[in-house]
Amino acid sequence: MRKSIAMPLTLVLILAFSCKQVKKETEETAVEKEEMKAQPITISKLEGSPTYADAELILSSQKSVITNESKEVEFDFTINNYELGQQTDSPNAEKLANSGKGQHIHFILNNQPYSAHYEANFKKEIPDGVHHLVAFLSRSYHESVKGENAVIARKMEIGDNPEDTQGLDMDAPTLIYSRPKGTYSGKDTENLMLDFFVLNTELSEEGNRVRATINGEEFMITEWAPYVINGLPMGEVTVKLELLDGEGNLIEGPFNEVTRTVTLAPEAS
């Protein structure tokens, strides 16, 4: 004869409550994931930065490069009306990913990811060949200073017989990518700055413009300004920039179409 085992009423209630609680938490997690998935990606113009209209960046040497046996190139910049290493006085320093080392130079070779330099004199290893150099002043939160005197654009010839494999035209309309870059974590994931440099052209609604494709969503940019990206999910984010003409065609040039991947993490690893 089979005997039935009766559970105490208290235990039955605890189990029932636990199952209900687990179900509720699972449902809430599913809703949160759907809400995150459904959140639209937006971009808006970044306001509130000091202009530094008189800032000036000069490559002091009259020669493009000074090489030594280790193929290093020495760069000696002069900076006027701008201070490297100082924190930019703006609420954007709290809003955006900000460098604790302060204001700096963004150094970009052949539209590759920039290196940040907090001193006016430094050395870089650069291989033989013909290279496109862009260097510009940056605020502590990595927004470029867009004054015409705050940027250097120069063709560099390294080696005895450098070959120009890219067909560089220093006077052609050119798009240079700057931000976003690298890995963002914690509160830095909330507002990502989209920033770039345009050379030898202006952006307008009827003329040349930049198309930004962020995780597959397209945004047409007709004003050269910094922007803030919101609504991004955690994980990998893909940003593609293209310099287009007034008809929506890609403007020819080795750097006028560029794609970068950055990572958003809930907390720093």
Distance CA 108, CA 45 (A): 24
Domain holding 63, by residue range, is 44-265
Q: How confident is the model at residue 18 (pLDDT cuts 50, 70, 90)?
A: low
**pLDDT, mean of residues 20-38:** 52
Strands lying side by side in the sheet with 209-214: 183-185, 257-265, 235-244, 209-214, 217-221
Q: What is the pLDDT of residue 4?
A: 47
Q: What is the mean pLDDT of residues 158-168?
A: 87
- Domain assignment present for 231: yes
| The predicted structure's pLDDT at residue 116 | 98
- pLDDT confidence of 11, banded at 50, 70, 90? low
With a cut of 80, say whether residue 1 has pLDDT above it: no
Residue 34, in any domain of the structure: no
Please calculate the CA angle 66-71-77 and round it to the nearest 5 degrees: 35
Assigned domain for 38 exists: no
213-228 average pLDDT score? 98
pLDDT at 31: 45
Q: DSSP class of residue 35? A: H
Judged by average pLDDT, the poorest of 32-41, 102-111, 159-168 is 32-41
The mean per-residue pLDDT over the stretch 162-168 comes to 89
**Is 1 within the bounds of a domain?**
no
154, part of any domain: yes
pLDDT in the model for residue 10: 58
In degrees and rounded to multiples of 5, residue 50 shows phi and psi of -65, 145
Tally of domains within the chain: 1
Residue 19 pLDDT exceeds 80: no
Residue 35 confidence (pLDDT): 46
Statement: residue 69 has pLDDT above 60: no
C-alpha 102/C-alpha 108 separation (Å) is: 18
Q: Is residue 18 part of a domain?
A: no
Residue 212 near residue 194 (C-beta atoms within 8 A): yes
Does residue 118 carry a pLDDT above 80? yes
Q: Which of 198, 187, 179 is nearest to 237 (CA)?
A: 179
Q: What percent of the chain has pLDDT over 70?
A: 81
Average pLDDT over the chain reads 88
Q: Which CATH number do you get for residue 85? A: 2.60.40.10
